[in-house]
Amino acid sequence: MSLTSGKVYLVGAGPGDAGLITVKGLQCIKKADVVVYDRLANPRLLQSMKPGAEKVYVGKLPDRHTMKQEDINQLLVDLALEGKTVTRLKGGDPTIFGRVSEEAELLWKNGIRYEIVPGITSAISVPAYAGIPVTHRDMSSSLSIITGHESPDKLDRMIQWDKLANATGTLIFMMGVAKIGYISEQLITHGRLANTPVALVRWGTRAEQETLTGTLADIEDKVKAADFQPPAVIVVGDVVLQREKLMWAEYMPLFGKRILVTRARSQASGLANRIEELGGEPYEFPVIDMVHPTEQNEILNIESSFAKLEEYDWIFFTSVNGVEFFFRHLQEQRRDVRSLYRAKVVAVGPATAEALMSHGVIPEQLPEVFQAEGMVEMLGERLKAGQKVLLPRGDKGRKWLPEKLVEMGLEVTDTVTYHTVITGEDDSELLRMFDEGGIHAITFTSSSTVTNLLAIMKRMGIQDPVKKLEGIATFCIGEITAITAKEAGLTVGMVAEEATIESLAQSLCRWNAIQN
Residue 175 falls in the annotated catalytic set: yes
Cβ atoms of residues 301 and 416 within 8 Å: yes
User: CA angle, 309 as apex, 306 and 310 as ends, to 5°?
Assistant: 150
Among 72, 78, 61, 80, CA closest to 103: 72
Cβ atoms of residues 288 and 446 within 8 Å: yes
What is the spatial distance between Cα 158 and Cα 497, in angstroms, rounded to a whole number?
59
Among 254, 178, 262, CA closest to 443: 262
Among 220, 241, 18, 250, CA closest to 134: 241
What 3-state DSSP class applies to 208? Answer: coil
Please pick, among 17, 33, 38, 414, the residue that the annotation labels catalytic: 38
The runs of H, that is alpha helices, within 111-218 are 122-129, 152-158, 161-164, 180-189
What 3-state DSSP class applies to 100? Answer: helix
Residue 245 falls in the annotated catalytic set: no
Residue 63 vs residues 60, 66, 202, 230: alpha-carbon distances, Å: 8, 10, 18, 12
What is the spatial distance between Cα 403 and Cα 505, in angstroms, rounded to a whole number?
33
Phi, psi at 12, each rounded to 5°: -80, 120
Please pick, among 174, 175, 457, 494, the residue that the annotation labels catalytic: 175
What 3-state DSSP class applies to 153? Answer: helix
> DSSP secondary structure string, 470-500?
TTSEEEESSHHHHHHHHHTT----EE-SSSS
Rg (CA), the chain: 28
Among 80, 116, 94, CA closest to 40: 94
Residue 460 falls in the annotated catalytic set: no
What is the spatial distance between Cα 207 and Cα 348, in angstroms, rounded to a whole number?
35
What is the spatial distance between Cα 262 and Cα 284, in angstroms, rounded to a whole number?
6
Cβ atoms of residues 103 and 73 within 8 Å: yes
Count of residues making up the chain: 516
What is the spatial distance between Cα 267 and Cα 124, in angstroms, rounded to a whole number?
33
Please pick, among 31, 55, 60, 344, the residue that the annotation labels catalytic: 60
The number of beta carbons lying within 10 Å of the beta carbon of residue 174 is: 20
What is the spatial distance between Cα 89 and Cα 55, in angstroms, rounded to a whole number?
11
Q: Which residues are catalytic?
A: 38, 60, 175
